[in-house]
């Protein structure tokens, strides 16, 4: 569903926009930009005369930014500051870990603090991953996988089972549980619905010859 966030001209009180676990929503800002929030996410929007600022307090969002050279569009996530003029990009925040993926246009990712510094200037298709204590890592992920959640999908290609399960469990419908460390590295490929963890578990079990059984409110995968 799409909602409109109006900012009362330029000088406004911050507006907040969030999603519950398993929910996805899109907000149309009054500058023509759009923010699409993934599961369990929260943003704060504040526009001024010379800058458009959005803070990603938690979760993940796709930003489709309307071009306005006089008012750069800034996304703050933890210590990171992402600056765009007219572009489309994804920001994901997991605690202190920030990932920025550029879909089109150009963005600058900087780290704030006593001595702000630029971490990366991304080209389309590039992603930078950063935490406060590590060197930023630049890679080129499969963009269709990065944005699949906007279509209600999860796309994996040779993804370790432990990582795939963590992604499935972000959506909170029903938890998939893997307690056996021997299963963690099993490769998972395919397209799965964000709202059907039981079907994901059944497909993985069939692919790798595993068993599935109910475990409280979840489903347990075992050898």
Residue with tokens 């920030």: 98
- Among 69, 158, 77, 157, CA closest to 106: 69
Give whole-number Cα distances, 158 to 81, 164, 168, 191, in Å. Answer: 32, 10, 15, 12
Distance of alpha carbon 87 from alpha carbon 98, whole angstroms? 19
13 pLDDT band, cuts 50/70/90, is confident
pLDDT for 5 beyond 90: no
- The answer to whether the Cα torsion of 111, 149, 186, 219 is positive or negative is positive
pLDDT for 1 beyond 70: no
Predicted local confidence at residue 114, as pLDDT = 79
Q: What is the pTM of this model?
A: 0.91
Predicted local confidence at residue 133, as pLDDT = 86
Distance of alpha carbon 214 from alpha carbon 134, whole angstroms? 39
Token code pair at residue 23: 């929910």
- Among 16, 17, 15, 37, CA closest to 25: 37
8 pLDDT band, cuts 50/70/90, is very low
Helix then strand count (H, E) for the chain reads 3, 19
Give whole-number Cα distances, 131 to 37, 63, 93, in Å. Answer: 22, 21, 10
pLDDT for 6 beyond 60: no
Which is more confident, 31 or 168? 168
CB 178 within 8 A of CB 215: no
User: What's the distance, CA 198 to chain centroid?
Assistant: 23
Distance of alpha carbon 50 from alpha carbon 36, whole angstroms? 24
Predicted local confidence at residue 61, as pLDDT = 98
Task: Starting at the earlier edge strand, list the strands of the sheet with 176-178.
Answer: 176-178, 218-222, 211-215
Instruction: Count how many residues are written for the chain.
Output: 223
Strands 153-160 and 187-193: antiparallel
């Amino acid at each position: 569903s799409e909602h409109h966030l109006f900012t009362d001209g330029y000088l406004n009180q911050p507006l907040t926009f969030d999603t519950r676990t398993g929910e996805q929503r899109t907000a149309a800002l009054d500058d023509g930009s759009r923010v699409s929030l993934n599961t369990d996410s929260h943003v704060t929007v504040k526009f001024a005369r010379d800058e458009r600022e959005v803070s990603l307090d938690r979760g993940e969002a796709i930003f489709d930014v309307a071009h306005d050279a006089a008012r750069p569009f800034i996304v703050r996530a933890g210590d990171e500051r992402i600056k765009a003029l007219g572009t489309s990009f994804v920001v994901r925040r997991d605690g202190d870990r920030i990932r920025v993926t550029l879909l089109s246009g150009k963005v600058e990712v900087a780290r704030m603090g006593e001595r702000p510094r630029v971490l990366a200037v991304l080209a389309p298709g590039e992603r930078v991953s950063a935490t406060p204590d590590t060197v930023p890592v630049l890679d080129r992920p499969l963009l269709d996988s990065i944005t699949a959640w906007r279509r209600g999908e999860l796309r994996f290609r040779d993804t370790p089972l432990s990582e795939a399960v963590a992604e499935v469990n972000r959506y909170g419908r029903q938890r998939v549980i893997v307690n056996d460390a021997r299963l963690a590295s099993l490769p998972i490929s395919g397209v799965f619905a964000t709202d059907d963890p039981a079907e994901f578990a059944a497909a993985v079990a069939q692919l790798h010859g595993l068993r599935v059984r109910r475990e409280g409110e979840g489903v347990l995968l075992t050898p």
